[in-house]
A and B are shown apart, each in its own frame.
Chain A
Amino acid sequence: MIKGALTRRRMLGTLAALAVLPLTRPAHATEPLGFGELYKSFGVLGLEFSDKVKRLNGREVRVKGFMAPPLKAEADFFVLTEIPMSLCPFCSSDADWPDNILVVYLGRKQTFVQYNAPISAQGVLEYGSWVGPVTGFVSQLRLRSASFETV
């Protein structure tokens, strides 16, 4: 049964990727940004954003990752993580977010997807501390006017 579900998901993923290909925007408009490229340095006294993040601030980027289990199904933001989240900081009081997360504010509401399937999020990159007015969620790095698709 597990095997069947996986095969089906793989197939759906392949179909989605095929469907999306013709719609991909020209390369110069959107730069890919990897989780490994977010920080120049990690340190106890703080992390430092990479030159690439600083350069792309305010520009449209595309980041691949995983959707962390969202606060609620209807929220218009979610947290993008490098690897699938094994814990749900929104649900469990002793779980905590990893250091390297990206908060994605959607341009329009989208139906949330399977959390352990990779997605590609696209939006305007912004860094610097910002407190979500509705949720109080503090983010250091965000995508605004974003959308996402399964990959």
Chain B
Amino acid sequence: MRKLLLALASATMLAGAAQAATVYPLDRATILVGSPFDFKVEFDAVVKPEDVKVTVNGQDYEAVFGKKAEFVAEEKGAEDKVLGSALILRDMAINEAGDYTVEVSAGGETKSVGWDVYATAAEPKAKNIIFMIADGLSVAHRTGARIMSKGMSEGKANGRLAMDDIPPVAFIGTSSTHSIATDSANTASAYMTGHKSRVNALGVYADRTPESLDDPKVETIAEALRRTGKKSVGIVTTAEIEDATPAALVSHTRKRADKAEIVGMMFDVKPDVLLGGGSAYFLGKDVPGSKRKDDKDYIAEFKNAGYALATDKAELAASAGANQERLLGLFHTGNMDVTLDRQFLKKGTVDKFPNQPGLVEMTEVALDRLSKNPEGFFLMVEAASVDKMSHPLDWDRALVETIEFDKAVAVARNFAEKNPDTMIVVTGDHTHGVAIIGTVDDDKPGEKMREKVGTYDNAGFPNYEDKDGDGYPDRIDVSRRLFLAANNGPDHYETFRPKMDGPFVPAIQNEAKEYVANEAYKDVPGAVFVEGNIPKDEDTGVHAVDDIVLQAAGPGSEGFRGYMEQSDVYRVLADAFALGAAKK
């Protein structure tokens, strides 16, 4: 009987699914008035063009959208599988705010979606916005950075982080359009476009066709700023500049891995300041180190477009005196090294790229340049490796990255004090499954390392020291240190110690394409095998679905409140800049 019911249920579901067209933007989309976007309808069946009916608030769509959509008789999937018919209208805009109901029908398929097309304040509230993202910033990173950097005695922090004095104003939901879980592409894209999307997607709704560059586009904040005014745009990251988070300001692709194309999209929008790593995708394929498949020399292209070029710390400092109006700083062929390696241990790839600047210097230079524009600016600063070190469960490096991020926040706060027409937002883009549960104390009695884990009263306080007062612990391999525990991961060896020889590589792939514990750590004294709890095709720890904390201060920040979807953040930014002010 139960089998029969299940069979019936699945038959019903299948039939139901087969009859629903999909409309992009999706139901409950929030759209900035006047912003260009692509409208697409995907029918599950091949339908006749004369049977397709699309109305907007009861009127024929052409009257409201102002254009006729292209009808695609058959969209093709992998191996030329016919996916159904489609209707595509590119680069349209709705110039009147309000609620829009779009109703679509063809054959047996119907779909109705509602859009909230919103206007903004008539006058801008803020002249500048500094949007600071520590990728993957979870509560444990903040707490750990505070304890590691400032110390704690008798239960009270011995100092405050710069971010501690920016009011937490909202909890942000990070889920994507097809999953409760998420990645940095769609999360940053939601912040920077006001539209949620699917894992790996940037500046588009993820459609069903395999091609990654044809998906229905939405406007990014950099494009909106170019369209509506003369503000400058800056992007600063410790990752490759074409990595997901920085790419979110300018890009439209279903695949964040389209890095060569993303560099081209950067070039199209021409942010005034671009600082980060990732030069490999700027070099033509004949240059050793290039990761392009074509001969495009984007170093030359950017220079010809009026960019000063900086490739190390000294050139970045010297760029303040450059005559060019724009600045491109590329400091690594790939992701930049993390603070712990760059500044202290000289591990990672620091021997190859010894003069990389840090996030603080990059933020200072960016603010100095951008603030010369009397019209104001939007600057996105990303501490990318809080995430990139949390994935491999290298918590010490992730915490030191968080301290560096906090120093960049201090730079932003200092700027805002002198320029009170500046809004600062401090947040992550998603969280990681990590928590601080106590300390590891080498002097605690016990044979095995787990006996040296101090919990509750036995945790005590770590003995990091900062005698030189630079905000970073003088050593991270102290005898009583923070113990961060991941709630997920691949098979790996827990060493209970900082990784002094370079970033942790917890698992590597075997010939069966499964990730197995990296035996390089097996013989570390006290190492314990930890069996993974995620599928064996996952190489590292994964993002958590937990909300993230958003902090904000300055004019316009009152728009952040309570629980918000990640896409709602954009609306507050747009409102602060009056990007959807009624045309005079």
Contact = CB atoms under 8 A, between A and B. Distances in A.
Size category of the A interface is: 35 or more
Contacts of B291: 96-97, 138
Interface in B265-313: 279-280, 283, 285-293, 299, 311-312
A19 interface: no
A2 B518 contact: no
B143 interface: no
A86 B332 contact: no
Query: Which of B200, B257, B392 has the most CB atoms of chain A within a 10 A radius of its CB?
Result: B257
A110 interface: no
B285 A45 contact: no
B518 A114 contact: no
Query: Which of B244, B311, B510 has the most CB atoms of chain A within a 10 A radius of its CB?
Result: B510
A74 interface: no
Nearest to A136: B293
Interface in A67-93: 69, 83-88, 91-93
Interface stretch (A23-31, A36-44, A55-63): A36-44
B289 A86 contact: no
A22 B358 CA distance: 53
Contacts of A93: 200, 255-257
Interface stretch (B4-12, B464-472, B501-509): B501-509
A138 B333 contact: no
A46 B290 contact: yes
A92 B185 CA distance: 14
Nearest to B200: A93
B70 interface: no
Given A47-B289, A129-B290, A86 B518 contact: yes
Contacts of B299: 45
Given A46-B288, A47-B288, A69-B513, A85 B332 contact: no
B332 A44 contact: yes
A140 interface: yes
B183 A94 contact: yes
Nearest to B281: A96
B330 interface: yes
B243 to A, nearest CB: 8
Nearest to B503: A86
Nearest to B353: A42
Query: Which of A92, A96, A128 has the most CB atoms of chain B within a 10 A radius of its CB?
Result: A96
Interface in B505-549: 505-511, 513, 516-519, 529, 537, 539-540
B563 to A, nearest CB: 28
Contact of B510 (A83, A96, A114, A129): A114
Contact of A88 (B255, B257, B539): B539
Contacts of B507: 86
A75 B162 CA distance: 53
B312 A140 contact: no
Interface string A103-136: 0000000001111100000000001110100001
A101 B574 CA distance: 44
B331 interface: yes
A121 B203 CA distance: 43
Given A88-B539, A99-B333, A131-B293, A115 B279 contact: no
B279 to A, nearest CB: 5
B438 interface: no
A6 interface: yes
A110 B23 CA distance: 49
A88 B287 CA distance: 24
Majority secondary structure, B binding face:
loop
Nearest to B335: A96
A51 interface: no
Contact of A115 (B257, B285, B509): B509
A94 to B, nearest CB: 6
A39 B293 contact: no
B529 A92 contact: no
Contact of B285 (A49, A98, A129): A129
Given A86-B518, A92-B539, A94-B256, A46 B283 contact: yes
B244 A94 contact: yes
A39 to B, nearest CB: 7
A45 B508 contact: no
A109 B74 CA distance: 40
Contacts of A91: 513, 537
Contact of B518 (A45, A84, A97): A84
A50 to B, nearest CB: 11
Contacts of B556: none
Contacts of B200: 93-94
A83 to B, nearest CB: 8
A43 B312 CA distance: 10
A83 B283 CA distance: 25
Nearest to A43: B311
Nearest to A69: B509
Nearest to B315: A44
Nearest to A141: B288
B81 interface: no
A112 B352 CA distance: 31
A129 B200 CA distance: 29
Contacts of A129: 285-287, 290
B333 A44 contact: yes
Nearest to B284: A129
B173 interface: no
Contacts of B353: 42, 44
B554 interface: no
B334 interface: yes
Contacts of B256: 93-94
Contacts of B508: 84-86, 115-116
A86 B511 contact: no
A44 B311 contact: yes
Contacts of A43: 289, 311
Contacts of A140: 288-290
A47 B349 CA distance: 14
Given A86-B505, A96-B240, 19 more contacts: A44-B333, A44-B353, A47-B289, A48-B288, A84-B508, A85-B509, A86-B508, A86-B509, A88-B509, A94-B257, A99-B334, A99-B352, A116-B508, A116-B518, A127-B288, A136-B293, A138-B285, A138-B290, A140-B288
19 contacts: A2-B529, A6-B519, A46-B287, A46-B289, A47-B289, A69-B513, A91-B537, A93-B257, A94-B183, A96-B240, A96-B291, A99-B280, A99-B289, A99-B333, A115-B509, A115-B511, A116-B508, A116-B518, A131-B293
Enumerate the 3 nearest inter-chain pairs by beta-carbon distance, A residue then B residue, closest first.
A42-B352, A47-B289, A93-B257
